[in-house]
């Protein structure tokens, strides 16, 4: 169930193209189960997922002067908040897409370990509409910042999940995010596991997929296999062999 959120900034044009690059087995799982997999945040390679920039950490060491006698309590609260923030990636699941009007050679190489892969082309609008699960999700653009000098608004704990380091700026990421709070009897209990490795989230596959692109280096038999599997599941999506590495005309 989609829910808007102030820290999740949507593209100006909701019809902007978004892509998801995946291997064949993940693609088959998607159309077979009609589930889009959201990975738990601490399962990504980037160890900074859900973390705060240096300026935010430094700011916790200082209490506003207006607090006077309450400064000690404030600083203890900030210290407690730091320990609390370390838990959120375990209770957050993310699904990532690449915003681009065109295919990306970098994304083909980054996300595919062999020639037998595909890319789903969709739009931001279609992606948002396609998620029909009961779980509440937020969606928006990732902001790329310098974690040494920049600052994230600390008033919302979801802020770090829409920020990444500038080293990842090439990803041009759109991400959908789900949080599953570890509550027992209305209280936080961080011994509780709400997400193991990720969440399979229900989607309308026909709404989600606009076109399917097959890896530019895939052999013909793989193109035929993708077409056969798609038809077997009753879909009639356009299936296109990527022309990214076709021979040029001089």
Alpha-helix residue ranges (DSSP H) falling in 60-189: 71-85, 105-111, 124-130
Q: According to the model, what pLDDT value does residue 115 have?
A: 84
Rounded-to-integer distance, Cα 117 and Cα 242, Å: 11
Q: In the beta sheet, which residues pair with residue 211?
A: 121, 238
Alpha-carbon span 220 to 130, nearest angstrom:
30
CA nearest neighbour of 151 among 59, 46, 49: 59
Per the listing, tokens 């209490």 go with 63
Average pLDDT, stretch 129-152? Answer: 96
| Angstrom distance (rounded) from CA 127 to CA 18 | 8
- CA-to-CA distance for 23 and 218, rounded, in angstroms? 12
Q: Which residue has the tokens 């936080």?
A: 188
Domain assignments of the chain as residue spans, ordered by start = 17-241
Q: Are 26 and 73 in contact (CB under 8 A)?
A: no
φ/ψ of 232, rounded to 5, equals -60, -35
Confidence class of residue 238 from pLDDT cuts 50, 70 and 90? very high
User: In this structure, what token pair is assigned to residue 44?
Assistant: 């990504």
For 29-65, the pLDDT digits (tens) are 999 999 999 999 999 999 999 999 998 888 777 656 5
- Residue 32 phi/psi, 5-degree rounding, is -80, -45
Q: Provide the pLDDT for residue 73.
A: 61
- Judged against a pLDDT cut of 60, whether residue 81 lies above it is answered with yes
Structural element, H or E, at residue 94: strand 92-99
pLDDT in tens, 102-129: 999 889 988 887 788 999 999 999 999 9
pLDDT at 69 over 70: no
- For residues 187-207, average pLDDT: 93
pLDDT at position 92: 97
H or E stretch at 174:
strand 173-179
Contact 225, 155 (CB under 8 A): no
Q: By the 8 A CB rule, do 212 and 103 touch? A: no
What letters, b where the CB count within 10 A reaches 16 and e where it falls short, cover 165-187?
A: beeeeebbbbbbbbbbebeeeee
């Amino acid at each position: 169930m989609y829910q808007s959120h102030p820290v999740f900034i949507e593209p100006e044009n909701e019809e902007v193209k978004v892509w998801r690059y995946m291997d064949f087995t993940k693609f088959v799982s998607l159309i077979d189960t009609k589930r889009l997999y959201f990975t738990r945040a601490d399962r990504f390679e980037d160890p900074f997922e859900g973390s705060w920039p240096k300026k935010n950490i430094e700011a916790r060491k200082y209490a506003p002067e207006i607090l006077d006698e309450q400064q000690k309590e404030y600083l203890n609260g900030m210290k407690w908040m730091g320990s609390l923030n370390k838990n959120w990636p375990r209770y957050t699941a993310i699904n990532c897409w690449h915003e681009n009007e065109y295919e990306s050679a970098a994304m083909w190489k980054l996300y595919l370990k062999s020639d037998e892969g595909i890319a789903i082309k969709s739009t931001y609008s279609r992606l948002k509409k396609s998620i029909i699960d009961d779980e509440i999700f937020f969606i928006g653009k990732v902001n790329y910042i310098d974690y040494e000098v920049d600052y994230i608004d600390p008033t919302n704990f979801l802020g770090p999940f829409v920020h990444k380091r500038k080293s990842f700026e090439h990803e041009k990421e759109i991400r959908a995010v789900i949080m599953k709070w570890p509550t027992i009897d209305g209280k936080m209990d961080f011994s509780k596991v709400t997400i193991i490795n990720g969440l399979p989230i229900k989607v309308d596959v026909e709404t989600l997929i606009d076109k399917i692109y097959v890896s530019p280096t895939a052999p013909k038999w793989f193109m035929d296999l993708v077409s056969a599997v798609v038809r077997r599941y009753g879909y009639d999506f356009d299936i296109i062999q990527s022309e990214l590495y076709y021979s040029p005309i001089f």
